[in-house]
Amino acid sequence: MKNIQLLNKIAKVGTDIFDRAEYAVGAEITNPDAIMVRSAAMHDMEFGDNLQAIARCGAGVNNIPIDRCSDAGIVVFNTPGANANGVKELAIAAILLASRDIVGGIDFARGLKGTEGVAKAVEAGKSAFAGNEILGKKLGVIGLGAIGGMVANAAATLGMKVMGCDPYLTVEAAWNINHSVQKAATFEDIFKNSDYITLHVPATKETKNMINAETIAMMQDGVKIINLSRADLVDATAIKAALESGKVSAYVTDFPTEEVVDVKGIVAIPHLGASTAESEDNCAVMAAHQLDDFLKTGNIKNSVNFPAISMPHTPGCKRICIFHKNIPAVLAQISGAFSEHNINIENLLNRSKGDNAYTLVETTEVTDAIIEKLNAIDGMIKIRVI
């Protein structure tokens, strides 16, 4: 019996994937084999020896201690694309909110309660909330992954002139982008040539405060900025100064912080990007399938800290899952260890991702001696036998 701990409310359609004859699933689970999480902060959590994997029901993983998990051989999964449509729809709404002061207009109309002649007051006051249309305006999309690509396509369909930039764009993602979307060589091209800029990149050391005083200075006067990715991408002090000067005419973010709430020109949405029933279901289902496959076979898909790897199971064989550092000669030492113990390798597959590597070995015989030999190899992190 394997134990799955739920740190947040996870959609039942996802948790139902786990066969209850094989899994115990619930918030009350202790010392779990795997954890499913949405937004719960895990940096201060202590992990038990049984923990093999963490599945984030969503794309962002900044609530999970990735480095500590990697050092312990804990695979961290996410669910890229599962909530993409929900975020795409909110991004289009955000572009419209940045274009026209819909929020201010609604607040104005709400304040007319009890007023005589509401219709007359509306006609007299509506000019204060006028805006512009998006047809023909230039939209710069930074990040053309699952979400950014969909936003670019939707905006192009609405008549915007779209350019996108993504240094890590995959061939598969490129095939899904509307042919009318122009390729920008650099982020600087986006900054200099866009009426609107929307951010769809993860929060990393490289992207932190990518929108700052220096990059804002490159932009056109009156630019509108959309950030549904992470608060850390935008320097709050710089964006407020730019709004006050008029350099930026509107900033819409899905990540309210103390610095940006109730600031003129900022529309702060309470992290609603993936808050749809469909997104929550899709994320839970994808996360559950990935955990189930990994716990049963050792195959990995959509991990942020270990490589994607999939090897068909050979009947009659046991599978050894070997987590190790991506350093020279480890693979040769693994093969040598089996040869030294006169154990034949039926199948072997190795992949690496950054500093981490993962090797799957299938053999008909697994002994304590071979496991001890493998554990003694320099750079070894963890070994699991299925």
* CA atoms of 360 and 362, how far apart (whole Å): 7
**Largest interatomic CA distance in the chain:** 93
C-beta separation of 332 from 375 below 8 A: no
Catalytic residue (one of 89, 100, 259, 271): 271
* Of residues 357, 306, 359, 362, the one with CA closest to residue 334: 359
Instruction: Give the chain's end-to-end CA distance (angstroms, integer).
Output: 13
Active site residue 346: no
Residue 165 · residue 184 · CB < 8 Å: yes
CB-based contacts of 99, cutoff 8 Å, min separation 6? 131, 132, 133, 134, 224, 250
Active-site pick, 38, 56, 200, 230: 230
How many other C-beta atoms can be found within 10 angstroms of the C-beta atom of residue 352?
18
Q: What are phi and psi of 279, to 5 degrees?
A: -65, -45
Q: Is 319 a catalytic residue?
A: no
Residue 220 DSSP label = P
* Residue 22, number of CB atoms within 10 A of its CB: 11
Between CA 314 and CA 321, with CA 319 as vertex, the angle to 5 degrees is 140
Who's near 341: CB < 8 A, 6+ residues apart? 367, 369, 370, 373
Catalytic site residue from 28, 46, 116, 258 = 258
Catalytic residue flag (residue 271): yes
CA–CA separation, 79 and 98 (whole Å): 29
Residue 23: which H helix or E strand, with range? strand 23-26
b/e for 323-344, b at 16 or more Cβ within 10 A?
Answer: bbbbeeebbebbeebbeeeebe
User: Would you name the residues annotated as active-site residues?
Assistant: 230, 258, 271
